[in-house]
Structure 1
């Protein structure tokens, strides 16, 4: 018994499979890049807001002439900062919770023949 292989079909099939693998890898990298950019945008927006608050703190401290004024200004600043960091942590958790199912869905997806 002899087995005959059609080598021309085998080469095309390998090329198509290789192309699908490369497209899947590129798609995965694009999704990863997009997710990282979402994190970067969120982080930069948060830092921009916090830096504005830091500058406002300095302005408010300069404007107050008494110790009680400075203490009140600083207390409000710390309260706001704590609230901001808590809110930002919740945003990051929410962002992560939306990205995780997307990643799992893509990982389970089978390449098309």
Structure 2
């Protein structure tokens, strides 16, 4: 019983009175505070209005489609076509990959 809680007694008349004029009301914040982190939206993740990003997206999609078509040609039995596409991809994939890395580093 080292610490003893004191009980405060408030009369009923004081408890039910209107002290609203005495209490200071909190005013809402009047200035706008913007976040440093932008909202995560589809438009924010895929900025198609940016020409560099659109070009990067089209080029990478074309490389993926060509790589998949080479695999489909090989499975279908068109070995000559698959070998031709493969020889093009041996040059196109490294150029596209190093170009994408260069683009990323130059836009930072």
TM-score of the superposed pair, with normalisation by structure 1: 0.43
Query: Under a length normalisation based on structure 2, what TM-score does the superposition of the two structures give?
Result: 0.44
* Higher RCO (CA 8 Å, separation ≥ 6 residues): 1
